[in-house]
A and B are shown apart, each in its own frame.
Chain A
Amino acid sequence: MSTQALTKKDFQSDQIVRWCPGCGDYAILSAIQSTMPKLGIDKENIVFISGIGCSSRFPYYMDTYGFHTIHGRAPTIATGLKTVNPDLSVWLITGDGDGLSIGGNHLLHVLRRNMDINILLFNNQIYGLTKGQYSPTSEMGKKTKSSPMGSLESPINPIRFALAAEASFVARTYDTNTRHMAETFEKAAAHKGTSFVEIYQNCVIFNKDTFDDFYDRKVRDDHMIHLEEGEPLIFGKEEQKGVYLDGMTPVIKKLSEAGDAQPLAHKAEQISRNYAGMLAEMEHPAMPVPVGVFRKVNRPTYENMLHDQVAEATAKKGEGRLEDLFTQGDTWSVD
């Protein structure tokens, strides 16, 4: 099987895709399937691991190795798998409920350890598979079957969660822009360390069009900023606006009215998380919603450091012989 010959079709499994018609997951699946051949990795070295939820059906539709595990725990399996076999390209598929509610602890720790895996968090701000309860990313006051008078919980911002967990690669993309998704996934795959990608994903049944106010093709230019390394933070279809700093606070100004002031230029590669954190706090409708790579820094991966330790122990003490453990110390014969 030659890697060169692989096409998008090679990554489509024989399973009938069972998401609801119009679900954003279809576009994400398609974007992933078209990204895979570009990575130059043999199919048998790719593994998709998921938890539970609509998004977690994902591995069935990929013609690669996969493991549809249990609710929230996929990061733990991915960690064990990648540690034992660092040659594998490991993709973790999760959702806002799976990753940030039941599996919040594991997501925190996989990011902290900086496993070299790619995490795609499908954020539709609702529980879909269990039929429409509010999720940890749902807006406060959301009326659902389990919160008829409105939910009382403040939502989690996945990007800020990832930054707080010391994630070395944090990005956001959205299901109505296949090209942006594919580019983001490629960048995620290229990053050595945990790549965390939040994907705004539309649930047509239980949270229809929740992102339309800012990501619909007709309005997105006025409400989103596409982050590009080194490029100024500017947006706006008719009238161009920029993001400026007023003390520690980002403010929006028309370029025409900014005078000599320069809009902020995007820099994902910085150790401090303050800038990325500031971007993460920019939320609709007060601010344009940033998409793209928020932060990208290099730090050693857990699996590499671990294998280095094993190698160091062997180098220092020589290839250990199990027998020695049984013949040294408290061992004797009675004469």
Chain B
Amino acid sequence: MNHIVSPVTAKIQKDAVTLLDEHIVEIVSDSGEGAQTAGQIFGQASAMMGNGVWTVEIIPAEIEPPSRSVPGASGNRIRVGARALHNAGDKADVVIGFNEQVLYSRIDQGAFKKGTHIFLENKWENDPREDVRNTYNEALTDLRERGYKVTGVPMEACCLEYVRDARRGKNIWVLGLLCRLYNRDKDLMRKMITRRFQAKGEKVLNSNLQLFESGFSWARSNLTQTWRIPPRRDDRPHVVMNGNQALAMGCMAAGMEICSMYPITPATSVSHYLAANFKKVGGFVHQAEDEIAAIGFAIGASYAGKTAVTITSGPGLALKTEFIGLAVMAEVPLVIVDVQRGGPSTGLPTKVEQSDLLAVLHGSPGDAPKIVLAPSTIEECFHFMITARRLAEEFRGPVFVLSDANLATGVQPFPRPRLSEDQLSPPIDQSDWDPDVAPYNWDSESGLSRRPIPGQRGGAYVLTGLGHDRHSKVVYESGTNQKTIAMRSKKLAALQRTLKPPTIFGDDTGDLLVVGWGSTRGAVEEAVTRLRKQGRKISSVNLQFLSPLQPGLTEMFRRFKKVMTIEINYSDKKDDPAFAGARRPAQLAMLLRARTLIDIDFWSRVPGSPLQPGILVDVLKHRMDEMRGATC
């Protein structure tokens, strides 16, 4: 459990400013009240002041859910620290609530702890509706009984001095409050507010700046305690963005010019960012008639010689399955981004899950080997797109980038990427094709071959989804499918030979090795760090390649007494007798057990929220204690 004030670094200063190692702030409102805007500005300003930052959006599934409702909670969680942060952390230290009902959504998620400071809009205590007054007062008592420190705040009353509709101003007023509370750079925040609102005209901008000042003054007069989180030391230039924006930028940095998509949560914003910027650099976004057409267009574009990207989430992935098989079979380079959300079916559209791994690996009928990468940070979302394009072209087939809703909406600063020509794939040779070279001139060792492009003289040939030989001729002879599938499989083996074993976080021997993939890395490494400080012999490893797997895993795993995965997908609980003898494993665990023949354990959950490191600490401690019990 982390403390509001870290006992190590905190010291009361003369001016009543307390130094903090880190804090987690949540701003929670009804949808449409702008809590997300406030949270984004607060997070960005903190990042620009040199703090480690991780922000995550709190998103209701509907666009305009009813006001003052528990499921309508909308807003932002901002974790700010004196060091780099890679996850959303545990329990909130400070919460700004625009009404009491939305707070219960966060309480259900286990987002608060005893001692959490809640700054709550107090206009509800004088609401003309009796039931509203009653629920507010009951909640106030309840929240205090739960151990939260609740302060009523006259947000509406203050805002009405500057705007007629306080719903359109509270967020910036709150930003003023937070600016004072955390001693943020006031000029910087004013500048960011200006940038956000200047397009809306002077009047709107001025009233927002007044709201900001008003919130600031209120905090100065009414809050005696303020905090400061010192910057981390890193003088490299930085950028700050969320994972979807990083994917979009990676797409452009890789030199890809075509993104074909069909709108789907939580992947869509990748294409929005591209649509806004792509044409400036000669690219375009194609919005197709459905998910199937989106990948079909991308395959057509790649077939024409320009490797395209298609971006989707679980339900869209399901629809694309047949085309993915075609891209494998006909060997068409293609980048497919899956921003995973909760499933099955429509599932939890706005919530994080890592449930598509096995579907991506094995979803196609027949044997369809493909390359699968999983970025674990916002920065990797950027870099992996560059890798993905290169691999797609080099290995002539589809490459998956498995992101998730946690990375998609998580905002993090990272060193500004260096752009260079080497990030681009070499241009495709369009000179005349030697008619004596077959369109699938498979190298017998690596399975690699070069492809002719329509328009290229001498290369006229017919691609097909039917079983075919190296001349792309349909074959019916027995044994051919065995040979040609082996060629496509060799490509994965060839890629694997070029990969390095993954880097272990911690010692390379010990009692427990935690294996994870994708966005859980930050929470896993934070939990492992805390446990190592307690003297536990625990390490972790994050797998960036899921297909092919990086080499050396079996040897690595054998150096630990026990190996287990941590994942955000479903697995049967260990202690539930209903599953005795038939326990279904988590997805990565299933894969690794099959590939290493090691009895790999697992813990996975589908809470619809990112994993909290504190919960992982408890889980891992418990498993390690069980091990001790077993060996004694």
Contact = CB atoms under 8 A, between A and B. Distances in A.
Given A65-B454, A88-B455, A310-B279, A76 B297 contact: yes
A137 B198 CA distance: 58
Interface string A64-87: 111111100101111111111101
A1 interface: yes
A15 interface: yes
Chain A to chain B: the 8 pairs with minimum beta-carbon distance, closest first: A80-B300, A76-B296, A320-B280, A313-B279, A66-B462, A80-B297, A334-B50, A84-B304
A310 B306 CA distance: 16
B630 interface: no
B419 A326 contact: yes
A221 B99 CA distance: 80
Given A67-B303, A80-B298, A73 B293 contact: yes
22 contacts: A15-B473, A45-B454, A59-B462, A65-B459, A73-B323, A76-B296, A77-B296, A79-B297, A81-B303, A83-B286, A85-B454, A88-B454, A109-B288, A322-B252, A322-B419, A325-B277, A326-B239, A326-B249, A331-B238, A333-B235, A333-B236, A334-B235
Contacts of B233: 334
Nearest to B44: A330
Contacts of B483: none
A81 B305 CA distance: 9
A239 interface: no
A123 B277 CA distance: 44
Given A60-B474, A320-B280, A325-B252, A81 B460 contact: no
A330 B300 contact: no
Contacts of B293: 73, 75-76, 79, 105-106, 109
Contacts of B466: 68
B455 A87 contact: yes
A309 B284 contact: yes
A266 interface: no
A69 B326 contact: yes
Contacts of A1: 457
Interface size range of chain B in the complex = 35 or more
A79 B286 CA distance: 10
Residue of A75, A321, A332 ringed by the most chain B CB atoms within 10 A: A332
Interface string A31-46: 0000000000011110
Contacts of B47: 330
Contacts of B501: none
Nearest to B322: A70
B464 interface: yes
A65 to B, nearest CB: 4
Contacts of A314: 279-280, 282
A63 B458 CA distance: 11
Interface string B269-311: 0000000010111111010111011111111111111101000
Contacts of A330: 44, 47-48, 239-241
Nearest to B257: A84
Which of A82, A87, A326, A335 counts the most B-chain CB atoms under 10 A from its CB?
A: A326
Nearest to B285: A306
Contacts of A79: 286, 293, 296-297, 300
Given A84-B304, A109-B289, 9 more contacts: A44-B456, A68-B462, A76-B293, A83-B297, A87-B455, A309-B284, A317-B280, A320-B277, A334-B49
A114 B121 CA distance: 55
Contacts of A84: 258, 300-301, 304-306
A76 B279 contact: no
Contact of B457 (A44, A48, A332): A44
A1 B460 CA distance: 13
A47 interface: yes
Contact of A334 (B234, B326, B463): B234
Nearest to A333: B237
Given A65-B461, A334-B231, A320 B473 contact: no
Contacts of B304: 80-81, 84-85, 88
Given A322-B419, A330-B48, A60 B326 contact: no
A331 B239 contact: yes
A67 B300 CA distance: 10
A322 B281 contact: yes
Most buried by B among A47, A87, A88, A108: A47
Contacts of A65: 454-455, 459-462
A2 interface: no
B282 A310 contact: yes
Contact of B238 (A310, A334, A335): A334
Contacts of A43: 460
Contacts of B236: 333
Contact of B253 (A82, A105, A313, A322): A322
B607 interface: no
Interface in A217-255: none
A320 B276 CA distance: 12
A327 interface: yes
A330 B241 CA distance: 8
B254 to A, nearest CB: 10
A335 B238 CA distance: 12
Given A59-B462, A313-B280, A314-B279, A76 B292 contact: yes
B622 interface: no
Contacts of A323: 419
B459 A44 contact: yes
A78 B417 contact: no
Contacts of A47: 454
A73 B293 CA distance: 7
B214 to A, nearest CB: 26
Contacts of A109: 288-289, 293
A81 B301 contact: yes
A44 B454 contact: yes
B272 to A, nearest CB: 14
A106 B296 contact: yes
A326 B416 contact: yes
B416 A327 contact: yes
Given A77-B300, A84-B306, A310-B279, A105 B456 contact: no
**Residue with the greatest number of chain A CB neighbours at <10 A, chosen from B233, B241, B252, B297:** B297
B445 to A, nearest CB: 28
B81 to A, nearest CB: 14
A186 B149 CA distance: 80
A70 B282 contact: no
Interface string B446-478: 000000001111111111111000000110000
A41 B465 CA distance: 27
Contacts of B388: none
Contact of A85 (B235, B294, B305): B305
Contacts of B298: 80
A80 B308 contact: yes
B24 interface: no
